[in-house]
Amino acid sequence: MAYLTQVDVAVSITHEMWDAAGTTRVSGEAANIVTGLTDPEGEASAIEVTVTEVGTSGLYTVSFSPDELGNWIVTATNPAGTDEAVSSYTVVTMSGVAGLPRQHLTTVARVKRRIDTEGALGSTYDDLILEMIGEASADIHARLGRIIPEDTYTEYRDGHGLDTMILRQGPLVSITSIHEVEYSDSGDGSQAETGTEVEAFNYVGGGLLTEGHSGPGTIRLLSSTYTTGIRNYAIIYVAGYSLIPEALARAATNYVAAMFFTREVAGLMNKSIGDSEISPIPMKNLDEAVARSIAPYRFEGVA
């Protein structure tokens, strides 16, 4: 599995260390893991690679910030006396779109570059295009069953007796806190809520953006299970993309371009702007193209 990130955005890789017998994870060895980094040109890179342990779990985070697009190779070698495993991880740096309004998947400027090659539109239709971007983005989010741009979420969940909770959004960026929740009578006829925070060394996140996941995040308790109950856990976390994946930005841009060209006449096959004539993608073909582009980012909602 390749880990996905963007240029100058740190990627964190989860690395395990086991004892020589392969039965127990080994803690306290972050400083003894030997790392290597190869850049997209196949040359050894001088970029710093850091290794930290997640609590005392024997799970280690190997991190670095790539400075160019392409495929990077990270190696991590466990020290003598452990399993002495040599692990190799591929990190792919991607392009994408950043700084968009909340829940928008493309920009007015990007759409206009697609539909207005001669610059004849000026700013006349900017408000309309922005409105269409909102409509197209909402439709794509509905098809995906999730929200793509990064945001902070608070979920109240039922404890189910297992060690792993599947979150409703993803990929997971960070965990702010987890609280075990109890309810009582406040004395005025309403309900009082008391939360006890679960200490951070007791859990680890999965489905991470930095590990290339596009589906829902997960939180695994390391030495216990989620106590069975009704709405007895409050989980606060950050999930989604700060940089919209290029496939989704492209799908939204094409979608809005088609909406713009067909805003007056259904089924319009071409449009003249200045001295140029542009033929948009037929709507049926566009719908199929959008579906293909967004398919890897779709997942079913979690109850």
Q: What is the mean pLDDT of the chain?
A: 85
Give yes or no for residue 303 having a pLDDT over 80.
no
pLDDT tens per residue across span 194-232: 889 999 999 999 999 888 888 899 999 999 999 999 999
pLDDT tens per residue across span 236-247: 999 998 888 888
Percent of the chain's residues with pLDDT above 90: 42
DSSP annotation of 230: S
Strands, E, within 85-229: which ranges?
A: 86-94, 96-98, 151-157, 164-166, 172-185, 191-197, 203-206, 218-221
Nearest to 248 by CA among 278, 212, 289, 279: 289
pTM exceeding the 0.95 threshold for the entire prediction: no
Q: What is the mean pLDDT of residues 249-267?
A: 80
Tally Cβ neighbours within 10 Å of residue 104.
Answer: 20
Question: Which CATH number does 2-94 carry?
Answer: 2.60.40.10
Nearest to 177 by CA among 159, 202, 194: 202
Q: DSSP states of 78-123 as a string?
A: PPTTBT--EEEEEEEEE-EEESPSTT--S-HHHHHHHH-TT--STT
Q: What are the residue ranges spanned by the domains of the chain?
A: 2-94, 96-146+244-297, 151-240
Give yes or no for residue 284 having a pLDDT over 70.
no
pLDDT, residue 266, reads 46
Give yes or no for residue 280 having a pLDDT over 80.
no
Give yes or no for residue 178 having a pLDDT over 60.
yes
Q: How confident is the model at residue 97 (pLDDT cuts 50, 70, 90)?
A: low
Give yes or no for residue 179 having a pLDDT over 80.
yes
Which helix (H) or strand (E) covers residue 5, if one does? strand 2-6
